[in-house]
Structure 1
Amino acid sequence: MTDREANLPKEKSFLFRVRQALPELRPAERRVGEFVCDFPGELASYSAQELAALAHVSKATVTRFIQRIGYETYEEARRHARQEKHTGSRLFLTTSADAAAVQSLNSHVSQGVANIEATFLSISDSQIEAAASAMLKARKVWVIGYRVSQSFASYLQWQLTQVIENIVAIPGAGQTMGEHLVSLGKDDLVVFFALRRRVVQSDTILQQVQKSGARLIFITDEGAPFEKSASWHFHCQTLAPGPLFNHTAVMALCHALITRCLEQAGTEGRKRLRSIETFNESLDEL
């Protein structure tokens, strides 16, 4: 990126344009706008005539709506919507047909099982074994996660504290990443959960991890490009029948890594576990 490009104002997103224009739109145009806000993927996938039918308005209304939100043509708006579709927003993956249907419990369970099976087709026992060994041998384990990824980072850190003394989930409340990245070293290991939608600083964090020499376990959804700097890049399938991503496979991967660490920790790990239980009993916390 050149200095000039870095100083250019960021282009407003397609959905931002729509939401900003909604209060000023005529009733029929507002109906298109509200429909597109709920199901932006429909515009990315369908023609103006098809969108008009879905929103129950005329094609001319769709054309006026497109112009009111700042586009010259429907095709220009559709290209912009398609670009945003690749950001991973679940809004762009949900259709009006999906919203009208009630997904059965069995469909959710079946998809979860399918996600686990598809995920572990590309993950070997030796990879899990090596990743667990690296975590146990590291000077310090840093677990990173933002947005939905933060919950998995916290869970992994909480479970592994039983056998890994020097492990932390970052960033914590009120903290910045700089406070932690400055301490990264070549004997450390980073577990980075980067499930969509990823935050903009993800690439910068990856660059800093690479510069530090620390080993990296990179855990993403199936849509993320392969990260060459990672010692292990685990892709988890997150397909779902409803409007939310299914993270069953991510939890299954966490379980596999945690269990293998507990197994590899051996006598020393069991000794630490016993000590933890002793303190829990003496403090009468559980």
Structure 2
Amino acid sequence: MKHISSLPINPPARLLMGPGPINAAPRVPRAVAVAERIARSGRALPFALEVVAFGDEEGTRLGFQDSAEVREHARALRRNGAPVGGPGASAGTPSRLAAHLAGEQENLRQLLQNLEDGRLDAAARLIAHAGNVVVIGLRNSSPLALHLRQQLAQACDNVRLAPLPGQSIGEDLAGLGAHDVVVLFGFRRRTAGFGQLVAAIERRGIPLVLIADSSARRYADGAAVWLECPIDSASAFDSYATAMSLIHLLATGAMGAHVRVTRTRIAAITSIYDDLDELEAPW
């Protein structure tokens, strides 16, 4: 029988730190303490699940019907992107590293399979030929949007990130039209108004490249190009390694569409780097 601390989702009370009415009561922190005490005492996972579901000698209860409901609640939180997990085996053990590698390889395999129908090239062409390129990413998607903008800026002078601090997205969408493009990142745990943003872009006839995981498929019909990117992970957090690979492919494709223009711009940027002494000298 596996010990609670050896499992990737543990202790069970940690699973309850997600959305929903369960979080409203102070009994949740008490349940966390109970489950951690169980882990320290050497009791096994099934016992801890029963405690969380039905209560213990201190009367700690969370209102679940049984331990199966506890497990399903945990799975639902993880599917929604909640960082479900707790103390357990070190992340650097050979088994954990092997599981991480296998997960990353599977995500990359799925991504490349999704791109086999030519949609990557279609997205790259939209970006390369657009009058203006606006890259949007909120919450977890923000660093991805920033990185894509940085990559595209090496080849294009018409790329901007939105929204900038102190601004709303409406200020960046105003004036865009059919000859421009919006690249929108929408990985799970999106803001509540994400669907309204997609609809607003579509109503204005602005071509949209939508990059997200499978939870955003319901928005794919509003996009000119839909790029689905898996971010599943065996650990508590989603992994964005595959998303970074997609950014690399997309930026490379956009740069390749105008090789001469790209080379001229890169040369100009490099010259300014030298003038300002911005980069350290290579070894």
Instruction: Answer whether TM exceeds 0.5 for this pair.
Output: yes
User: Aligned-pair distance for 1:87?
Assistant: 6.8
Alignment CA distance shift 1:35-1:234 (3 Å):
farther
User: Aligned-pair distance for 1:255?
Assistant: 0.4
The one-letter code matched in structure 2 to 1:21 is A
User: Aligned-pair distance for 1:235?
Assistant: 1.0
Q: Deviations over 1:99-137 (max 9, x none)?
A: 523444232223212211111111127322221111111
In structure 2, the residue matched to 1:232 is 225
Aligned pairs for 1:81-230 (under 5 A) are 81=73, 85=77, 88-91=80-83, 94=85, 99-103=87-91, 104=94, 105-124=97-116, 126-226=118-218, 227-230=220-223
Alignment CA distance shift 1:271-1:16 (3 Å):
same
Alignment CA distance shift 1:190-1:21 (3 Å):
same
User: Aligned-pair distance for 1:58?
Assistant: 8.1
Return 5+ residue gaps in structure 1 as ranges: 1-12, 37-49
User: Aligned-pair distance for 1:81?
Assistant: 4.8
Q: 2:207 touches 2:224 (CA, 8 Å); kept in 1?
A: yes
User: Aligned-pair distance for 1:90?
Assistant: 2.4
In structure 2, the residue matched to 1:247 is 240
User: Aligned-pair distance for 1:263?
Assistant: 1.4
Q: Distance in 1 between matches of 2:276 and 2:163?
A: 29
The one-letter code matched in structure 1 to 2:25 is A
In structure 2, the residue matched to 1:32 is 31
Q: Identify which range, 109-118 or 191-200, moves more after superposition.
A: 109-118
The one-letter code matched in structure 2 to 1:144 is I
| CA RMSD between the two structures | 3.3
Q: 1:14 touches 1:81 (CA, 8 Å); kept in 2?
A: no
The one-letter code matched in structure 1 to 2:224 is S
Alignment CA distance shift 1:35-1:143 (3 Å):
farther
Moved over 3 A (4+): 13-20, 33-36, 55-60, 78-87, 101-104
Q: 2:130 touches 2:180 (CA, 8 Å); kept in 1?
A: yes
Aligned pairs for 1:18-57 (under 5 A) are 18-22=22-26, 25=27, 31-32=30-31, 53-54=47-48, 57=51
Alignment CA distance shift 1:86-1:115 (3 Å):
closer
User: Aligned-pair distance for 1:59?
Assistant: 6.0
Alignment CA distance shift 1:52-1:15 (3 Å):
farther
Q: 1:148 touches 1:195 (CA, 8 Å); kept in 2?
A: yes
User: Aligned-pair distance for 1:182?
Assistant: 2.3
Alignment CA distance shift 1:86-1:181 (3 Å):
farther
User: Aligned-pair distance for 1:219?
Assistant: 0.5
Q: State the number of aligned residues.
A: 248
Aligned pairs for 1:53-64 (under 5 A) are 53-54=47-48, 57=51, 60-61=54-55
Q: 1:220 touches 1:235 (CA, 8 Å); kept in 2?
A: yes
Q: 1:87 touches 1:197 (CA, 8 Å); kept in 2?
A: no
Q: Distance in 2 between matches of 1:217 and 1:137?
A: 13
User: Aligned-pair distance for 1:225?
Assistant: 1.9
User: Aligned-pair distance for 1:175?
Assistant: 1.2
Identity between Structure 1 and Structure 2 (%): 24
Q: Distance in 2 between matches of 1:166 and 1:151?
A: 19
User: Aligned-pair distance for 1:262?
Assistant: 1.6
